[in-house]
Structure 1
Amino acid sequence: MRVAEIARLTGTTVRTVRYYHHLGLLPVPEERGGWRDYDLSHVARLSRIRWLVQAGVPLKSIGGILDSPAVAAAPAGAAVIEDLSEALTAVVEHLAETTRQRDMLASLLARARDGLTVSPMPPRMVAFFDRLEAASPDERTRAAVRRERDLVDVACYGGRMPPEAEYLFPGPDDGEDDGALAAYGQDTENLTDTQVEERAAQNIARFERVLGPQRCRELATQVDMSAIRSLFQLIAAAEPAYARVAEAMEPLLAKTIARWSTTP
């Protein structure tokens, strides 16, 4: 048979058949009347190649697997087992990555259907920034909301936002939006040292109000202080305007968490 026929029989393409010839996986048949004449042995060999490819075995390993006299015999059998083990590991890793992508896409689709901005942030954070940006009374406040949103986005994308931080962002019924907007409207860069300390204390107090006593105690036993330090370092490096407030907040938050953890 001709190359087009063997390609059709095995569900592949003429180009792929010729590529396997180039790699040495499939023997090149003799020519008859100016055409390469394939027989059943070529069909069987190509079918086995396609079967292994569909199983996820790399092309570089297929020749050794097909030409091995017996899987159980050493040393050829050991090489086949190693190749198949590596192929299986690669497929499992790919499956895990595909599953992660599926879950992310499902989450993003759900947010889009709910009218939320698509973002790596948890939905509660996204809803908070969407709400405050829409309610900002002026461009200065709106710009400050967007800056902090970008900062949180970067932290979430880079895995530097502790999972517990989602609960620190007020919901629409917590009564914190007006105070948060007023804080965003301040000129952060020109705050006095006293105002910086006040701003840090206000933020911590808002966290406690939003969380409530029970959740404060629960989170205090779960939070990773190294993750919090990493987050504050990111804030200081990425947004100098917040650096002073972040510097004041970090030790204050650490003391508050320590207090939560010992409160009955």
Structure 2
Amino acid sequence: MVSAARAKYTIDELARAAGTTVRSVRVYHERGVLPPPQVKGRTGYYSPEHLQRVHTISRLLDRGIKLNGIKELLAALDRGDDLGDVLGVGETDAPATAAPSDSISATDLQERFAEVPNGLARVVAAGIYEPVDAMTYRVADRLLAGFVDQLTAVGLPAEAVLGELERMRADCDRIARRTVDLLHREAWDPYRRSERTPADLVELSEQVRVARTLPGQVAAGLVTQLIDRELGHDVELSELLNKM
């Protein structure tokens, strides 16, 4: 259950931290998916739990779940109910192409993340796993699952790895939103003001094509470069690695 304790964000700060809008936050309140803030004087303040809840709502919306369904799902998660039951997903809903190795029992998945607070709910909200039925889950995103599996396999704690993945996803979400904003300002708006000739449409299509893929490629390369730089700044770690 989201608590109003440790309140620290105004509604503007919450929206900015979550990468969303004040209007969206207000809609979440109106639809009953976000608990009210702690009111001091005439100002409402939100806690880190509120921020995490807004991130979860955004991820579920990205997965095509409507706000009414999200309200039911979040209430069930707060009660500790099974996600398969809440979503009403049956065995016949599993795609025929799903590989057996991608499936895991609810018991095994819960045990795998037993040391992570709300571990089962968090790996589902992060888009790593999804329910097949009340007893079975499957990998929803192999890239994300591989990130968690590989880092935990070399001994990093699951809670720390999952937390880093959640922060990384929030960072990527901000990059995506900025890219789309750029397209709106510099591609779509000029196209709407143009004569909308076939040449104008070709130019818009090419701008969208490049902007869809290039930020991810550049971000991946930059992250690797910057990790190497940070490792190089750690003198003790660098000396140890050089001896290996």
Which structure's residues are more often strand, by fraction? 2
Greater helix content: 1
TM-score normalised over the length of structure 2: 0.31
TM-score between the two structures when normalised by the length of structure 1? 0.29
